[in-house]
Structure 1
Amino acid sequence: MEAEPRAVDRPRRIPGGRDGRRMLLVAFLDRIGSGLWASVSVLYFTYVSGLSVAQVGTLAAVSGAIGIAGAPLGGRIADRFPLTRVLIALQLLRALASFALLTTDHYPLLLAFSAVGSLGDRASSVLTKLYATRVAGPDRVRYQAVNRTASNAGWALGGLAAAAALTLGTTTAYRWLLAGDGISFVAVALLTLTCAEPPSTGRVAATAKDAPCTARPANPWRDRTYLAYVATETVLSLDDTVFKVGLPLWIAHSHGVPHGLAPLLLVLNNVMVVGLQVPLARYGATTTAARRLLLPLSAAFALGGITLALSATGGTLQAICLLTASAAAFTLAEMLHATVSWELSVALAPETAQGAYLGVHGLAQATQRSIGPLAATAAIATGPLGWTVFGATIAVTCAIQHRLVRDRLQRTPLSVPPVTVSEH
């Protein structure tokens, strides 16, 4: 009898209770540090470490390739060890990797340290998503939207600090930005100590009763539809590469465009997410609604590629305006994709194997971090046509995923089960 008033009030509160709020603070602090580093990492390796464009792209690709193992590893760990303790260990690993980068400009060591950081980053990303899924239950899309808002607020603050530091134009400023990233990981590890272990959402109890009735396999590696979905997710996740590699390198090698524009565009990205991610999340709260968002998502990706290509056709002012428009289009695509991905990645997975399925889904982002830098540098080397093809390829992949998910939905009503997560 008391459940109905709580259900009415729930949308007005942050899902997940006290621990959910603490994890939002963790995300905020984590992203402040990441904002300090992400927008200038390419510039750091270029101007401080003295690497070429090819070396920077290869470094990002190799570290991303090694980081791929972190996603499925994180999924397996989630079924065997407490989430909070593993998250603490991963944050400390990321801190060590960041501090280690400060100790050398030797290319093989830079590759090794970047790879360790990428492995920890991918594993922690999967475990953080699983934590949110367990602590928020059926409100997972809204919680993830609030989480993303907090994260991007942190990114914006870090990006603003990075932009200010770049005005100094010294190697010391770059090194302090990297050190700040490492310090943030130590801080969030300490804060995570205060978070309780989330409930398992009753998945074990539901297994014996529900497993015989489901047509979906418990092993994601045997679920061909889910694997195909993850493959399309890899392409749709390339918006991350645009902001971390594509735009900074494109700006660094464009005549007349100030280098300080790169972190400012990242700030724009984060400000837009802070203001719009939660309102947009309501349009993808169910599986069917999330699938419909794939069509406007396709248009946003295509627009981002075209405007980025056109930025090379005019003077400085026109280039700045078009680069800003491209950043806005890719940010819209990022927000729509985040909403779609949050819902579909969980809804397409059986509750009895969420950790394993989310671990496989994490391969999309991890793989993108490997092939994404190569795709971005290839687009830069090709010129404006390269960016047009880049955006068009992702747009077409959106249409493919739209068809793929439709076929799955016709066989299984996936938008209903998440409601049962909170029915203890």
Structure 2
Amino acid sequence: MGTARGTTGQKAGPGRPRIPGGRDGRRMLAVAFVDRVGSGLWASVSVLYFTYVSGLSVTQVGTLAALAGAVGIAGAPIGGRIADRLPLTRVLIALQLLRAVASLGLLTTDHYALLLAFSALGSLGDRASSVLTKLYATRVAGPDRVRYQALNRTMANAGWALGGLGAAAALALGTTAAYRWLLLGDALSFVAVALLTLRCGEPASSSRTVATSTTPAPARPANPWRDRPYLAYVATETVLFLDDAVFKVGLPLWIAHAGSAPHGLAPLLLVLNNVMVVALQVPLARFGTTTAAARTLLLPLSLAYALGGITLALSATGGALAATVLLTAAAASFTVAEMLHATVSWELSVALAPDTAQGAYLGVHGLAQSAQRSIGPLAVTAAIATGPAGWAVFGTGIALTCVIQHRMVRDRLDPAPLSVAPVTVSEH
């Protein structure tokens, strides 16, 4: 891995935590924070905006969200492929400006076709920029990429929470102007992110080095679409990302339609999830800083998923107090699973990809999370419709997938135990 321009020789001062990637690493963490503040402003009110400001029906809003999400799925592989050929920071800047244009475009019209087009552009840019931010971490942080991604996720969650609080305060006004200001704030956050990215150095890229090499007949970069073992790995990743649907759809619906827990518990469990991620993601990342360690984490990860599903099933069998305690335990278990999987996924998705086509491979890996956004709601609603046993099957099914992935990646990984040079992740 190359060192990003402007980061060489930087050392943390006494007692100051070292940020992987140096100055550029810190700037990209600021990018993650600002990006998610803007997203937090908009994500929690988008449905309300389209309903009350744009005047769309429930069916129109649902269709718009579904179609925009479907277009967004293409963002990950397209962005990854482009980033293997062009400077990564320039592609990121272009994507952020695309997202800003899409958000501003929503302010200019109530025409359904245009709202759909702008929403689709925003979704495309969002999924592509998410994958390329991970690619930037892979290139700039080198052996510390897992720790950097943990810091990135912590900053993103903190930004999301701050944006959500801002949205809640604005919604208290209940005016059309308040909704428009939130959307404008989202657009401006992307402009700010583009300006921050302008100051980031361009990290070294093996794929671009190969593409621009003057040696005769350079090797053709690997194609992830023809790499069946990697595609099988991505398929298992789609299942492991289902924890996202548990918090966004599963828990609220389960609390509303089953058991005796108070309905007000649902948003509190989302807060618990956010707080746990901010507090624990970086410490837990220490257990997955090598490829071998990340693969080993798949086994405790399977236990966390199984425990979450079984606890959710048991929550329907007691009174209000027991249900509240069990639902809280289930939310905590799925949050631990979310954090462990994030650590495992960051390392294995890179370790399984050839250096000369990291962007293309990570782009295909990004399809797992995108596909989950469509499959996830169906999976959790099926579990709810089945009753308590459905949750037990849901959790143990994901747990079994963890075990399958643990075995699947064994033969694919380099015989050497590490995908990167052995290092000790230090706070200093």
What is the TM-score when the length of structure 2 is the normalising length? 0.81
Deviations 1:223-243 (A, max 9, x none): 211111011011111222333
Amino acid at match of 1:399: V
**How big is the shift at 1:120?**
0.9
Q: How does 1:75-114 map to 2 (within 5 A)?
A: 75-101=80-106, 111-114=116-119
> Of 272, 283, 293, which residue of structure 1 is paired with 2:287?
283
Distance 1:347 1:98 in 2: 35
- Once residues 380 and 171 of structure 1 are traced to their aligned partners in structure 2, the CA distance between those partners, rounded to angstroms, is 36
Structure 1 residue 413 and structure 2 residue 415: aligned? yes
Aligned to 1:25: 30
Which segment drifts farther, 83-92 or 259-268?
A: 259-268
* Change in CA separation of 1:15 and 1:248 when aligned onto 2, cut-off 3 Å: same
In structure 2, what is the Cα distance between the partners aligned to 1:34 and 1:24?
Answer: 15
Secondary structure, in 3 states, of the residue corresponding to 1:278?
A: helix
Q: Distance in 2 between matches of 1:258 and 1:296?
A: 31
Of 341, 365, 370 in structure 2, the residue corresponding to residue 366 of structure 1 is 370
Q: In structure 2, give the amino acid aligned to 1:418.
A: V
Aligned to 1:268: 272
* Whole-angstrom distance in 2 between the partners of 1:347 and 1:316: 46
In 2, the alpha carbon distance for the partners of 1:289 and 1:321 equals 32
Residues 66 and 115, structure 1, Cα contact 8 Å, conserved in 2: yes
Which structure 2 residues correspond to residues 1-400 of structure 1 after superposition, within 5 A?
12-39=17-44, 41=46, 52=58, 59-101=64-106, 111-164=116-169, 168=172, 170=174, 172=176, 176-200=181-205, 204=209, 218-248=222-252, 262-311=266-315, 320-400=324-404
CA shift in 2, pair 1:17/1:350, >3 Å: same
How far, CA to CA, are the matches of 1:69 and 1:303 in structure 2? Answer: 34
Amino acid at match of 1:20: G
Q: Kindly indicate whether the alpha-carbon contact (under 8 Å) linking 2:292 and 2:418 is maintained by their aligned counterparts in 1.
A: no
Looking at structure 2, the residues matched to 288 and 102 of structure 1 have their Cα atoms a distance apart, in angstroms, of: 49
**SS at 2:420 equivalent:** helix
Task: Please tell me whether the aligned partners of residues 311 and 323 of structure 1 are also in contact (alpha carbons under 8 angstroms).
Answer: yes
Q: Tell me which moved more, 222-231 or 388-397.
A: 388-397
What is the one-letter code of the residue matched to 1:93? L
Change (3 A) 1:62 1:106: same
Query: Percent identity between the aligned chains?
Result: 79
- Gaps of at least 5 residues in structure 2 are 1-8, 214-218, 424-428
**Per-residue CA distance 1:96-122 (angstroms, 9 max, x = gap):** 333445566776655444332221111
> What is the distance in 2 between the residues matched to 1:355 and 1:147?
19
Q: Residue 426 of structure 2 aligns with which residue?
A: none
Q: What SS does the aligned partner of 1:413 have?
A: coil
Structure 1 distance, partners of 2:173, 2:317, is 28
User: Would you say the 8 A contact 1:61–1:369 is kept in 2?
Assistant: no
CA distance in 1, matches of 2:160, 2:299: 28
Provide the rounded CA distance (Å) in 1 between the counterparts of 2:281 and 2:406.
21
Write the letter of the residue equivalent to 2:372: Q
Amino acid in the other structure paired with 2:331? A
Do the aligned residues in 1 keep the contact of 2:85 with 2:211 (CA within 8 Å)? no
TM-score, normalised with respect to structure 1: 0.81
- Opposite residue 122 of structure 1, the aligned amino acid is R
Please give the alpha-carbon distance, in whole angstroms, between the structure 1 residues aligned to 2:301 and 2:325. 22
The secondary structure found in structure 2 opposite 1:199 is coil
Aligned residues: 409
Cα contact 2:40–2:160 (8 A) shared by 1: yes
Deviation of 1:247 (Å): 3.8
Query: Which stretch shows the higher mean deviation, 272-281 or 311-320?
Result: 311-320
SS in 1 for 2:163: helix
1:357-395 per-residue CA deviation (whole Å, 9 max, x = no partner) reads: 111111111222232233344445555444443323222
> Counterparts of 1:325 and 1:367 in 2: how far apart (Å)?
27
Instruction: Give the CA deviation at 1:280.
Output: 0.8
Give per-residue Cα distances to partners, 1:260-279, cap 9 Å, x unaligned.
Answer: 65554333222211211111
- Change beyond 3 A, Cα 1:155–1:313: farther
Q: Within 1, Cα distance between the matches of 2:267 and 2:101?
A: 24
Q: Which amino acid aligns with 1:71?
A: A
Aligned-residue CA RMSD in angstroms?
Answer: 3.9
Q: Deviations over 1:274-311 (max 9, x none)?
A: 21111111111111111111111112222333344455
Provide the rounded CA distance (Å) in 1 between the counterparts of 2:163 and 2:221.
Answer: 42
| 1:248–1:333 CA distance, 2 compared to 1 (3 A) | same
1-side partners of 2:44 and 2:62: how far apart?
A: 15
- Of stretches 242-251 and 332-341 in structure 1, the one that deviates more from structure 2 is 242-251
Answer yes or no: is the 8 Å Cα contact 1:203–1:351 preserved in 2.
Answer: no
AA of the residue aligned to 1:146: L
Contact 1:73 1:123 in 2 (8 A): yes
Per-residue CA shift, 1:1-25, capped at 9, x if unaligned? xxxxx79979951111111110000
CA contact 1:33–1:185 (8 Å) conserved in 2: yes
Note the C-alpha offset of 1:147.
Answer: 1.3
Secondary structure at the residue paired with 1:235? helix
* 2:6 match: none
Q: What SS is found at the alignment partner of 1:34? A: helix
Structure 1: 5+ residue runs without aligned partners? Answer: 1-5, 209-213
